[in-house]
Amino acid sequence: MASKSPKPSISTALYGGGTTTTTTMDVEKVFHMNGGTGQTSYSKNSSLQKKASDKVKHVTLESIEQVFVRTVPRSMGIADLGCSSGPNTLSNVKDMVERVGWAGRALGLPEPEFRVYLNDLPTNDFNSIFQALPEFQAELKRERGGAGGGEGGPWIYIAGCPGTFYGRLFPENWLHFVYSSNSLHWLSKVPPGLYDAEGRPKNKGSVYITQRSPPEVAQAYVHQFNLDFSLFLGLRSKELVMGGKMVLIFLGRETSIHIDRGNSFLWDLLTKAFSILISKGEVEEEKVDAYDVHFYAPSMEEVEKAVKSEGSFEMEMLQMFGADNKKEEYSYKNDGEMMMVSYGRRVAMGVRAVQESMLTHHFGGGILDSLFEEYGRLLDLELSIQHITPITFVLVLRKL
């Protein structure tokens, strides 16, 4: 029986005219990457995330190979937590299955059956993944020169697993390998400490930690990260077999300073884009004051401390690397016509694909085009002045 976990929620303060009310928005019900294959979809705007995961793909593949060789399971359980719905999802599965198969053939070990669980929040576009499965299976068959399943290739059972990874997802001792890329920087909820006893926001004028934020804002984010990350580790320790591993790839920061520009600049510029819309009368200032992102980029020290404090895992690796941020233009098709977009606009489209569900829920969809037009322009300007490299961590853990 899955254990109960805290219900993730966002407390959103709405105030004005001397009256204060607080509403609750469930992240689990609202948050998702943009589905489908349109121009604002995550599928079309996740190339930067893929570059980050590809940069440490060797770590992922070496780790799953080591688990297979040490445990030699007949049925190997693999989970991708925060899988989203873009092309990266099945590409990752294919790489892992092929690496295990290669290791088995090289060492004369029997190839296992694969149980692959694709997890994300219930509002994720799982249908896009399922629709891509026939071609995925056919490609594996072609590469293995057989009919797939058994003699011509591995048996692969793929299932969608909707739910928050801040709750139990699987039975005990069910998984051999857990993979998560570009997900664990999302908290279960906006920290409650960002609001006072009357529900009024403490972080007015900002959507994340900035130089203007009072100290208790950063403290609230740190506290929520520690709660969430420790909970995540404890839950996964129950679901993994002894010696099972996790490879976790998520955004972090280079220093102990919370306003480290590596990732906070993205939120700083989104705040500036909101300010422009406020000056134009396109959005109410109070509405912006009441919006905070459920995001946190931890430091390496914070990650290490959380792992050691929880105690279920040995930390085999924690490395920091900079994501590629070359400023070349990108092209895409729009109604059959090739369009060129700047690097800043490309990043803005990526952030929109990730944040649109939350922004639409809070502000409505009417401001989005204008907001991200300003955001892309600000990104281009900022990146023309200084070189900023977003920081990503890769963490490898082995269950004790």
Please give the share of the chain, as a percent, with pLDDT higher than 90: 63
* Whether pLDDT at 2 is above 50: no
Q: Which residues on adjacent β-strands are paired with residue 24?
A: 11
195 residue type, one letter: Y
Quote the CA–CA distance of 337 and 334 in Å, as a whole number. Answer: 5
Which structural domains are found in the chain, ordered by start? 10-259+293-325+387-399 (3.40.50.150)
Contact 149, 113 (CB under 8 A): no
Average pLDDT of span 236-255: 97
The tens digit of pLDDT for each residue in 94-123 reads: 999 999 999 999 999 999 999 999 999 998
Per the prediction, the chain carries an average pLDDT of 86
User: Where would I find the beta strands (DSSP E) of 257-336?
Assistant: 313-322, 330-334
Tell me the helix, strand and coil percentages in the chain, rounded to 5.
Answer: 45, 20, 35
* Whether pLDDT at 313 is above 80: yes
pLDDT score recorded for residue 347: 87
The tens digit of pLDDT for each residue in 27-59 reads: 778 887 667 766 666 656 556 677 778 899 999
pTM passes above 0.75: yes
The tens digit of pLDDT for each residue in 17-33 reads: 332 333 345 777 888 76
